[in-house]
Structure 1
């Protein structure tokens, strides 16, 4: 099966494919998602098969409006309403308790909660409306690989495995949505993202952290809590913000392998890099770095001649929390100097 690229003008055809139980990837403002009818169990099972994703990992349900959430959720509290009014459409996923048997266990991981998101991407909202059903939408990549920020990334991973890709250009943020659990007495961030803790707390007050990895016996409430994600084939190491890049360059000169560098534009222009190094710009700040991180990792991952990828770290404040959350997963918590100079 050849995967079709749909343009925004072909949304009716993409929606028809969804209604026929097929998979169509779609863009959000964060990354591309792998879309299937959230009410069609057979279609949802195809998502797990296409990604090679464990079936106990719950899927985020993408909706076009708040009314759809009310159809499935047991209750919309005043705090949840404030979050939806403030951040939707946008990169915030909200976990809510479900009405009895509202969604299949293949969507929820067998839990009595579900994660809902209203993406800020007009083509995708049009797709959901045209399909007339909410869409599950995990990142449209092979499980464990860097999340896709371009339709080309999706095509590389899933061509022949899915019916189509709705191509509306590059995504805006590059890191996935923030996930907040509103199904318990105390709101908690399960995955940091483009909406920061301070922004959430300005709306609903104190928010807890639950960023741990669950054990093998547990079912995670949100994606990214149990399994390794975002990992290229090459060894990825974090260059801590306080580390002098001259030290990194000196180490690179001693290597007889090809090395990829993801660093801010100013850093790339400042130094003369060894011949075995290829650089990729992360832009000017943590905002641009968050947008470009997955694309940069994919660029080097598509070329198997790279043995090592060194990536600039940022302080874990604001959007830096989400950036470092993804980078730490890509690097397996490996920092330059821990192993690079051994």
Structure 2
């Protein structure tokens, strides 16, 4: 079940632009490029200096690993000590697409991409611009080029889903390939296979049920008790946060907060389902956004919405907590980490 859905209309990216970006990567520079999930900030995964530039640009802790992106015809076995049969089944089912596999890292691969761990995260994106860039860079490296690419934003901030989001973060300091808006809109599912059993480290478009259908066994789900789990991208308690304080609560718990803001004359944002918002949708002090009822559409629009609310001149963002069901788990995960950024500082 590869994610090969139709992408929104996007600016044409010429072969010359792809070649220029690949040459920058080959020279140890960093380049932002679109994937189906979010825009990535890429550098040569086998060049520790290039990876260090990514970390420096993002302000990312050096022990927080990054994901290596491979071309569709790339060889994952080059990057790992051993490719388990379970990994090959998942690659056949979901690559190219939004699934990252954590595997035991080959000794030849610098530990800069893994935050000093013995594992490495690999994925093959389905966005056509990403694939063209990765193929061009791989040719520069005899077929084994991989691009380390966390999201193209400052560490802990809202991930970018358009080229303009990247420019808003970095200005003209980063070379950006504009491939239009990202189709999935949230980061890839991360599945750990480095310890002899499948364990979900980060939810995403590829669900535990889909993984279980391929493997014949359900992955372990994150519950806070897996002390041996490797560190992985986007799994810190506080992450994906806007700059405006955000609270995520059931609507009944939000109403007293909305009333308090109204009595204080504070302008706030509310993101909720129309069926629950009631009169608050039209309140004079409320900047209301109707939450999408479809989880895939919500995921696609989430980061753009949070960035827009940062520009809306509101004191706080109130978000209705979504149903605690499997189809909403990935969006709930991102919103929960965004809210935790402000709980930690309270």
- TM-score above 0.5, yes or no: yes
User: Mean Cα displacement is larger for which, 112-121 or 254-263?
Assistant: 254-263
Classify the secondary structure of the residue corresponding to 2:284.
coil
Q: CA deviation at 1:247?
A: 5.5
Deviation (angstroms), 1:312: 2.3
Instruction: Give unmatched runs, 5+ long, in structure 2.
Output: 1-10, 139-144
Of stretches 307-316 and 48-57 in structure 1, the one that deviates more from structure 2 is 307-316
Q: Please state how far the C-alpha of 1:270 moved relative to its aligned partner.
A: 7.3
Q: Residues 127-180 of structure 1, C-alpha deviation per residue, up to 9 Å, x if partnerless? A: 011112211110100111111111111111112432x11111111121110000
Q: Matched residue of 1:124: which SS?
A: helix
User: Is 1:89 paired with 2:99?
Assistant: no
* Aligned position for 2:182: 171
Alignment partner of 1:310 is 2:318? yes
What does residue range 109-188 of structure 1 map to in structure 2 within 5 Å?
Answer: 109-132=115-138, 133-162=145-174, 164-188=175-199
| Residues 19 and 131 in structure 1, CA contact (< 8 A), matched pair in contact too | yes
Q: How many residues align?
A: 325
The alpha-carbon deviation at position 8 of structure 1 amounts to 1.4
Report the TM-score when normalising by structure 1: 0.87
**Counterpart in the other structure of 2:7:** none
Whole-angstrom CA distance in 2 between matches of 1:270 and 1:171 = 33
Report Cα offsets for 1:243-270 as digits up to 9, x if no partner.
Answer: 3876665444223222112234666687
Contact in 2 for aligned 1:57/1:220 (Cα 8 Å): no
- 2:119 touches 2:230 (CA, 8 Å); kept in 1? no
Distance 1:14 1:266 in 2: 47
Q: Please, which of 190, 199, 207 is the counterpart of residue 219 of structure 2?
A: 207
Tell me which stretches of 4 or more aligned residues in structure 1 moved more than 6 Å: none
Q: Does residue 1:278 correspond to 2:283, yes or no? A: no
Aligned partner of residue 73 in structure 1, secondary structure: coil
TM-score where L is the length of structure 2: 0.86
Does residue 52 of the first structure (1) align with residue 59 of the second (2)?
yes
Gaps of 5+ in 1: 1-5
Query: Which residue number corresponds to residue 108 of structure 1?
Result: 114
Structural RMSD (CA): 2.6
What residue number does 2:13 align with?
A: 8
Question: Within 1, Cα distance between the matches of 2:263 and 2:269?
Answer: 15
Return closer, same or farther for 1:246/1:221 CA change in 2, 3 Å cut-off. closer
Report the counterpart of residue 3 of structure 1 in structure 2.
Answer: none
3-state DSSP of counterpart to 2:316: strand
